[in-house]
Structure 1
C-alpha cells in the first residue's frame, strides 16, 4: 500500500512560544496602547532624560549651592527679576534671579538673590558688582551664607532674658551674624532700649533672620522706625516696623 506524505508550508505554521518568550512578555507589557502612533512612543522616551536631570540636581551638596548663591541688597524698588538677572549675566550663567517682595504691600524689599552656575562665576560677580551704583544706590553683593559643617550646634550661647513691652518693633532681614547684643546697641542710638532679641532656631545658634526691640515710649518706637527702616546692619538693609 502506498504511503501518502503531506507537505505543509513552513510559513503557515506558528511555532509555540518558548518559556523565555512567555516570561519576557509577562514581565515587560507594552506601555503604549495598541496602534499608538510612533510619535507618541518617541515623546515618551524623550521625557525620561529630563526627569533624570531634575533628580540629579537635588543631589548637589549644600555647600556647593551656598557657594554660588548671592545676596544682592540695597537695590532700587523698580528692579524686576529680569533686570536683576541681566545685571549678572555679564559674569556668567544665571540659573535664577529673584527679587523679594513684601507679602502685604507687594512692594520690593530692595533685596534679592541670584544663583550663578558655578562658584567661580559667583566670585567674579561679587568682585565686579559689590559697591557699584544701580539707580543711584550702592548695591551689596555677597555670598548668602558660608557652609560651616563643623559648627557645634549642641551648646548655643544662652540668650539674655527678653523684656517684652507694648512699645515694640519688628526687625527683619537680619544678617546671620547679628547677635542680640549687636541689635540692642544698634537701636540704642534712638531712645532707651528696654530689651532686644534675635529669634533663633530652637536648640541651635542659627538665626531665623528677624528679631524684636522694645522701648519705653511710643515716640521712641516711631523714631526707630523712621530712622532704621532700610538702614544697613552687618551689610544688609534691615526692615523695621511696629510689632
Structure 2
C-alpha cells in the first residue's frame, strides 16, 4: 500500500502573535478564577454617586446671581455692619469686607451673598448709589464666580473699549484688578471701560492702567477727584491720556 505524506503548514501548529485585541479576547475564555475577574475589573463601568437633593452643590452661575459686589464703602464699615445694611432686603448668607493683608486696613469694598437672586436684585435697586458715611456706594452682581482658580495663571481680561475721553491711572497697587479700577472710577461718571496693563503672558501688573468715559466733563471730574486719591492703600496718579 502506498504511503501518503501530508505536509502541515507551520501556521496551523504555531499560534499567531497575540495582539492587544486577541489577548483581551482570550481572557474572556479563561475560567473565572484565572482571568475573568481581572478582565471584569478593567471593563467595569464607573460608578456615579448622586447626592441627595439637599446636598447637591449649587451651580457657580447660580451663586454668582446672588453674590453682590459692594464698593466705595467707608473704611470703618465692619462685616456685621455690612450685613445689617443688606438684611432689610432679604436673608444675608454672608457679608465680608476685604482687608489688606499687610496693613489690615479695609480695602473699601466687600461682598454680600443673599439667599435668592430676587433678594440680590432688590438690594441693588435700593442700595446702589446710596450714601454711606459720606460716600456713594456701588452695588452690583459679581460678573463671575470662579472657585479653585489658579491665581498664578493670567486671567482673561475683558475687552477694552477705547475712547477719546480717557484718563491714565498710574502708581497702581499690584492687587488692583480691572474690575476694581472700573468700579472705583464709576463714582464720577459713566465708565465705558477700564484696563490694568499687565506683563504679557503673566498676571503681573505693570502698575498703571486706563479708564474711558463718555464725555470730556467726566474726564475732568475724574482727574480732579481721583488724582492723589488712595486706592488699595496707595495714592494714584490720574491725568488725561
TM-score (norm 1): 0.46
TM-score (norm 2): 0.47
